[in-house]
Amino acid sequence: MKSKSFSVHRNVKLALLSLAAICGPLQATTARAADSAPPAAALASWPPSNKAPAGAPNVVLILLDDVGYSWSSVFGGPVATPNIDHLASHGLRYNNFHVNSLCSPTRAALLSGRNAHEIGFGTITEGANASPGYTSVWPKSAISIAEVLRRNGYSTAAFGKWHNTPTWEVNPAGPFEHWPTSLGFEHFYGFLGAATTQYDQPFIATLLRQNCLSLRSRATC
């Protein structure tokens, strides 16, 4: 019994020594980690989100197809546009905009601040060709006003007719890099092509599908 008792105590002692050998480095490591832990101020290091400054104005761009400069009453034309007149009375009126007499080029110029040929819109998307300035492919070198506003804390959205995406990219498979939601607009509710109908039921399904795909390209749908 004596020798057995000695053997048991010896085994327990060896086990305790082994445990101490294991725990010793762990305790030292924990102590070193505590000494090198960053200060509490460094833990709250999320980058600040961009926010528009207090009092920043809303920015609304309205483009009407097939309407000449002299049509609306806001510029002395015969067509009464009371809401536009009201907006103009609280803002500024510009009378030196370069209109291209076609919707896609005019919209491209309005949104980019560039000559339409510089960003591939010398004509509408259906007339695109390989000639320089006529590809209908919006280059990454030309940022839109929507993207500028978005990066500075604005919420952005586009509604209605778009007609600035290459025709071969207007499909459920994409690519989506030239859709409105890839050009600065966080939300888009409209149609991508040149024309559509508000009286045909399939239009509603197509509209919803296009916009869901558009949002999905930004992983938000």
Higher pLDDT, 202 or 83: 83
**Mean pLDDT, range 111-139, rounded to an integer:** 96
**What's the pLDDT score for residue 9?**
46
Domain ranges of the chain: 69-98, 99-216
**What's the pLDDT score for residue 133?**
96
Q: What is the 3-state secondary structure (H, E, C) of 49-99?
A: CCCCCCCCCCCCCCCCCCCCCCCEHHHCCCECCHHHHHHHHCCCCCCCCCC
**What's the pLDDT score for residue 73?**
93
Task: Reply yes or no on whether the pLDDT at 3 is more than 90.
Answer: no
Query: 50-81 as b/e, with b when 16 or more CB fall inside 10 Å?
Result: eeeeeeeeeeeeeeeeeeeeeebebeeeeeeb
Please confirm, yes or no, whether 163 is among the known catalytic residues: yes
Residue of 163, 178, 212, 221 marked active site? 163
* Three-state SS at 204: helix
For 90-156, the DSSP string reads TS---------SSHHHHHHHHHHSS-GGGGT-SS-GGG--SSTT-S----TTS--HHHHHHHTT---
**Mean pLDDT, range 162-172, rounded to an integer:** 93
**What's the pLDDT score for residue 211?**
57
Task: Reply yes or no on whether the pLDDT at 98 is more than 70.
Answer: yes
Question: For residues 110 and 213, what is the distance between their CA atoms, to the nearest angstrom?
Answer: 25
Please confirm, yes or no, whether 103 is among the known catalytic residues: yes
Higher pLDDT, 190 or 151: 151
Q: What are phi and psi of 125, to 5 degrees?
A: -60, -35
**What's the pLDDT score for residue 6?**
44
Question: For residues 84 and 27, what is the distance between their CA atoms, to the nearest angstrom?
Answer: 73
**Mean pLDDT, range 184-204, rounded to an integer:** 78
Residue of 9, 23, 98, 103 marked active site? 103
**What's the pLDDT score for residue 162?**
94
Angle at 218 (CA atoms; ends 159, 149), nearest 5 degrees: 55
